[in-house]
Amino acid sequence: MKEYTEIILYPEALEQSKESASSPPPHLPSFLLTEFSNPALEKDSEAPAQGEPGDENGGGGGSVKLSANGFAQQVQDVASRKFKPDCKFSWLCVAILSTVLLLLLALLVVIIILSPCGGTLHGPKGSFSSPNYPAPYPPNSLCRWHIQVTEGMAIQLKVEVLDIESSASCLYDRLEIYKDQDASSSWDGSSKFCGNMAPPTINTNNNRMQVVFVSDDNFAPSGFTAWYRAIAPSEKNCSWEEFLCDQGRCLSPAFVCDGHPDCVDQRDEANCSTKHNECGGTLTDLEGQFFSPNYPHPYPPLQLCLWLISVPPGHVIDLHFHNFSLESQEDCNYDFVEVYDSGGMGTTSVMGKFCSSDLPPVLTSSQHVMTILFVADEGVADIGFFATYHAHNTTEKTCGPSEFSCRNGECRAQQLVCDGWSDCWDGSDEHNCSSSSSTSSNPSYPSVELSCEPVRVEMCLGVSYNATYFPNIWLNIPDQQQAAEVLQDYLMLKDLSCYPSLRLLLCGLFVPKCTPNGGILQPCRSVCRLAEQRCQESLRLLGTPWPLNCNFLPDSSNPLECFLP
């Protein structure tokens, strides 16, 4: 018996289904129209009918006789029964798969939000950062990194970027650095860091260190990034701009020659007699010169210098910059020189703000005083500037009978006087313009009012002055509202016995006194020294170093240079 079943196609069936046979269903393979071996369709009990072809060996392998159309229909029925989907089973699978995918997605979100941080770092070098850096770090974070290198080696740690919510004593978000594995021992009494001023390079004396990052449930900046490396104890060093002392301690430039010894050997306060004399001061001669610190060598970082040029009344001042090269930035927000046509600093008296290597023009004051401010941040430093000034009497320049003499001696055409437009630098051509001297066609322009405003910050109410001026150019604070937000953190210190002195200093810096011409003055250095003397010990017990370098403030009692609140 053959191992297949014959399919005999009758001519009459083919004739009746000629059209179907000539174009079989597209889903039916052509070989099924000729021969199909299917044991399930065999009928061994049936013998072939007489006259019908049978097995060539006479066997009785029964034949199933189907027309082409009939066989095709049967195949379709079998296929339909075999491959018909179970709708209930399919929907159940979809539901299960969807649930699993949603759970996986939720787990991924949780992992991102609660991304693990901290761990143990054993390699000879490595790096780490706050969770999600440089994106904002998540709230309620507590990360601990244990750094351990080979026995006999030391660790050098450098925090490259620090951007952590700032607060008094770093009570909210902070970076804590410990120079051994035990977090109960602090680093030189000052292990907490916040704000955006990265700590100096840190060198350990052993092979262990711990770094802790803490955040609360509020405001979250981008955090920090840091690296470490194993070094031999003899290889301790600092970054180029930092000061090295005590066989491995690094100090930021702001803590050098600040009047407070930070090094055990007090090297940071040695040779400081001329350090600050070259940065700022009062110039009263009819001519003179001044320059950036260290000129013609690059100026040090973190500089804030103020020169007040004050000559006898009746004189004006010509200011010339001969060499000028500061860090370049489009808006001059990093390193810059700003010149004011007054003894104070207000937006209405700004003559110009300059940076990069473009030489400023010659500037002439409208009165006998002029203020020059030089600011350098902690970043790139250039060679700075060299400037001279010359004062001359306003009567030195004579104008013709048809010209008007401005207060600084410049001449303007008479027809430009009282025309509604200021053609003199100080606007003197538009002063004392009575209605009789101007025609009805000339518009009336209101005079510029100085914008002193009442003090509204709660912490500063009742100090020795009641008027202030914003924006505060010293600290880049636009208005009193932002000043109040910053000072809010210091209200927690009001129970300290030294708080009255600290309050006067902080208000003088954040909500400064308004000068009669609309500018602002810094508090004098003596105000800062008194607050430091009284509060330094109390702040140290709270784990916070004294935050301000008093040497950046004017060492004077001249009311044109600074004020005593």
> What is the amino acid identity at position 133?
Y
Under a CB-based contact definition with an 8 Å cutoff, are residues 408 and 392 in contact? no
pLDDT, position 207: 92
Span of 298-312, 380-394, 397-411, 448-462 with lowest mean pLDDT: 397-411
Under a CB-based contact definition with an 8 Å cutoff, are residues 340 and 350 in contact? yes
pLDDT interval class at 349 (50, 70, 90) = confident
Q: Verify cis geometry, omega within 30 degrees of 0, for the bond prior to 134.
A: yes
The answer to whether residue 264 sits within a structural domain is no
> What is the amino acid identity at position 321?
F
Q: Verify cis geometry, omega within 30 degrees of 0, for the bond prior to 443.
A: no
Q: Verify cis geometry, omega within 30 degrees of 0, for the bond prior to 312.
A: no
Both 299 and 387 in a single domain?
A: yes
Span of 25-39, 92-106, 420-434, 465-479 with lowest mean pLDDT: 25-39
Span of 87-91, 304-308, 434-438 with lowest mean pLDDT: 434-438
Interval 249-257 mean pLDDT: 78
The percentage of the chain sitting over the pLDDT mark of 90, rounded to a whole number, equals: 18
Q: Encode 298-312: b = buried (16+ Cβ within 10 Å), e = exposed.
A: bbbbbbbbbbbbbbe
Place of tokens 């370098």: 549
Q: Encode 200-235: b = buried (16+ Cβ within 10 Å), e = exposed.
A: bbbbbebbbbbbbbbbeeeebbbbbbbebbbbeeee
Task: Write the CATH number for 425.
Answer: 4.10.400.10
Tokens of residue 27, six digits? 């889903």
Both 539 and 499 in a single domain?
A: yes
pLDDT, position 101: 83
The answer to whether residue 470 sits within a structural domain is yes
The answer to whether residue 411 sits within a structural domain is yes
Contacts of 79 (CB under 8 A, 6+ apart): 27
DSSP string, 368-409: SEEEEEEEE-SS----EEEEEEEEEEGGGS---TTEEE-TTS
The answer to whether residue 105 sits within a structural domain is no
**Could you tell me which residue, 365 or 449, shows the higher pLDDT?**
365
Domain that holds residue 44: 11-83
Both 361 and 345 in a single domain?
A: yes
Both 140 and 66 in a single domain?
A: no
Query: What is the number of domains present in the chain?
Result: 5
Distances (CA, A) of 323 to 158, 306, 334, 361: 36, 18, 19, 12
404 phi/psi in degrees, rounded to 5: -110, 135
Both 367 and 321 in a single domain?
A: yes
Both 227 and 123 in a single domain?
A: yes
Give the H/E segment covering residue 228: strand 223-231
3-state secondary structure of 474: coil
Distances (CA, A) of 427 to 313, 345, 404, 530: 18, 18, 12, 43
Both 146 and 222 in a single domain?
A: yes
Both 420 and 463 in a single domain?
A: no
pLDDT, one tens digit per residue, over 468-482 is 888 776 776 888 988
Both 381 and 289 in a single domain?
A: yes
Under a CB-based contact definition with an 8 Å cutoff, are residues 339 and 327 in contact? no
The CA distance from 327 to 335, in Å, is: 6
pLDDT over 50 at 44, yes or no:
no
Place of tokens 């470490």: 228
Number of residues in the chain = 565
Other CB atoms within a 10 A radius of the CB of residue 283 amount to: 20
pLDDT over 90 at 127, yes or no:
yes
The answer to whether residue 106 sits within a structural domain is no
Sign of CA dihedral 433, 435, 436, 438: positive
Task: Write the CATH number for 350.
Answer: 2.60.120.290
**Could you tell me which residue, 31 or 408, shows the higher pLDDT?**
408
pLDDT, one tens digit per residue, over 216-227 is 988 788 999 999
DSSP string, 236-273: ----TTSEEETTTEEE-GGGTTSSS--STT-GGGSS-T
pLDDT over 70 at 115, yes or no:
no
The CA distance from 245 to 494, in Å, is: 36
pLDDT, position 48: 45
Segment of 84-88, 125-129, 189-193, 356-360 carrying the highest mean pLDDT: 125-129
434 phi/psi in degrees, rounded to 5: -75, 165
Task: Write the CATH number for 472.
Answer: 1.10.2000.10
**Could you tell me which residue, 104 or 132, shows the higher pLDDT?**
132
The CA distance from 336 to 328, in Å, is: 9
pLDDT interval class at 427 (50, 70, 90) = low
The CA distance from 67 to 17, in Å, is: 9
Give the H/E segment covering residue 69: helix 68-83
Distances (CA, A) of 220 to 164, 492, 497: 7, 21, 33
The answer to whether residue 18 sits within a structural domain is yes
Of 379, 410, 437, the position where a domain reaches its end is 437
Both 200 and 296 in a single domain?
A: no
163, with CB counted inside 10 A (0-12, 13-18, 19+), is: buried
- Give me the sheet containing 223-231, strands edge to edge: 125-129, 223-231, 154-163, 202-203
Distances (CA, A) of 100 to 88, 93, 107, 109, 124: 19, 11, 11, 14, 42
Under a CB-based contact definition with an 8 Å cutoff, are residues 28 and 71 in contact? no
Distances (CA, A) of 457 to 64, 103, 441, 528: 104, 51, 46, 20
**Could you tell me which residue, 346 or 186, shows the higher pLDDT?**
346
Span of 86-100, 229-243, 293-307 with lowest mean pLDDT: 86-100
Both 354 and 376 in a single domain?
A: yes
Whether this prediction's pTM lies above 0.85 is answered by: no
Average pLDDT, the chain: 75
Under a CB-based contact definition with an 8 Å cutoff, are residues 374 and 333 in contact? no
Tokens of residue 200, six digits? 């100096």
The CA distance from 485 to 487, in Å, is: 6
Distances (CA, A) of 259 to 200, 301, 400, 506: 19, 18, 57, 19
pLDDT, one tens digit per residue, over 164-217 is 988 877 888 999 998 765 444 444 435 789 888 888 899 998 899 999 999 998
The answer to whether residue 113 sits within a structural domain is no
Strand 513-514 to strand 369-376: parallel, antiparallel, or no bridges (unpaired)? unpaired
The answer to whether residue 512 sits within a structural domain is yes
Both 402 and 386 in a single domain?
A: no
Interval 442-446 mean pLDDT: 37
Under a CB-based contact definition with an 8 Å cutoff, are residues 212 and 250 in contact? no
Beta bridge partners, 192, equal 176
